Chain A
Amino acid sequence: MVNLRAFRSLTLALATLALRDPTSVSFSLALAPALLVLFGLALGDAPVPLQDGLAAIDHQLPAIAAWVFAMTGLFTVPMAVLTRRESGTLRRLQATPLRPVTFVAADVSVHLVQVLVGLALLFAVGVLAFGARPTGAPAAIVPAALLGSVAFLALGYGLASVLPSSRSTLVVGNLLAIPMLFLSGATAPLEVMPQGVRDVAALNPLHHAVSLLRGAWLGEPWSGLLVETAAVAGLLVVAAAVAVARFRWEA
């Protein structure tokens, strides 16, 4: 029943519109490398205290990658969807045979490409400018980055379907982002925190996304990352289910 011509044409139109918005494109592409430069300058090439022989950049780079897709899912996607809903552009599409799933698939594709290009830039700058050296194979790093990106984009559509207005996205996004970042293991090492904090962190999908990406980057086998993979995949399933069940064309 899904009209492939509709999907193709809508994806192309949404991509064209994204490219015509220079501020949003440059932000989504430059965010990741900019974060890396800040952290790279702050950390230098000092080894991470808790892990012998590991360069700080190889510890931090996967975490920054996870932040990038988390920020896209928590802020960029809900803001974009809600702005379109409030302006009435989604309502006009509702009066056509376009199905919600086709619209979301097209919109996800455009956001995913932006996120993946940003991550590719991030990894390139990390390797070329900061001497990062992945131990893991691209065949592990790419799927881990892809799964994390798709899961957090789905979170963005889930949020967009339950949030009342574009103004509420900043509040809710920050309410979620601050504890998620703090308890992700990306900013402060969870290993030095009390057990209670670590128990809460175990419920944080960003924590698992950081661990998954970091494990893949450092060459851990998949068998050692099953919990992380399941947690991120779980976020994807729950968020996508909410997004589809609660999808609304109009404010």
Chain B
Amino acid sequence: MKSEKLRIALKNRKFKVGVAIIVFFALFALIGPLVTPFDQLGYYPVKLHKMLLLKRSTPNLPPMSHDVIYAPGREINVTHYLGTDSFGRDLYAQVVYGLRNSLIVGLIGGGIATFVGLTIGFLAGYRGGWTDEILMMITNIMLVIPTMALLIIIAAYMSTRGVIIESIIIGLTAWPWTARAIRAQTLSLKNREFVHLAKLAGLSDLKIIIGEILPNITSYVFMVFILQFGGAILAAIGLDFIGLGPTRGISLGIILQNAVLWNAINLGYWWWAIPPGLIIALFITGLYFVNIGLEEVFNPRLRRE
């Protein structure tokens, strides 16, 4: 059965395109930093005795420009694949490290959101009664409060923020729709015979949920995770853009914020303002493609080919 689904999935064009896009950008984030001598903020680090000098290039160079960096006693030839910003910092390095951070936020934030959503959805759906009422009340309240507003107010009061903290607060605010969806799935499964059988066998609630219900919705959970993964990346890029991103380090949202604050659009420096967002838009399109591909695999009614 499993291999049958996999075979269908590998024939699905959307699934294949999506996987290709995701793998491409994942490799880019992994290997990309290795081919640049610049640090994550786009400076060229030069060691001088025990000091570390951070050198800049010429500002506002378009993509694929060659430039010379003058270090004490030597001249270094460098290529700026994506040009430089108005401070002479290399943009390729910023983008590739920013993408790495975006993927980390997506994995951790999306993972936490999926996990919390699963736990609450299972509990509410399986236990029913008061547990359900209370958990769903909390879920409905969280669902109406705009996640972004909540993120803003939490992040604004944190004096130091890192990528991990950002992922955690995104994960802890993004779970409500998942909880609702998982609850609905659990409700439809909990009166099935195999669940009753497990109950008669005296299995605990936890064992029934993990051993009987979860295996029946793994594909669904996987698709939920993909959506949460993309959602966390988009939430982070928005948060970074309005100035609540990591206080140290770089992210795609921070690059875009700098571009807008320093007038890159008016001045025509497209290489500063366009690539960071384009990468994210393409990557998330890839995630969606994997998702619709999987949906078509598991739900033949949607297949159109």
Do A and B come from the same complex?
no
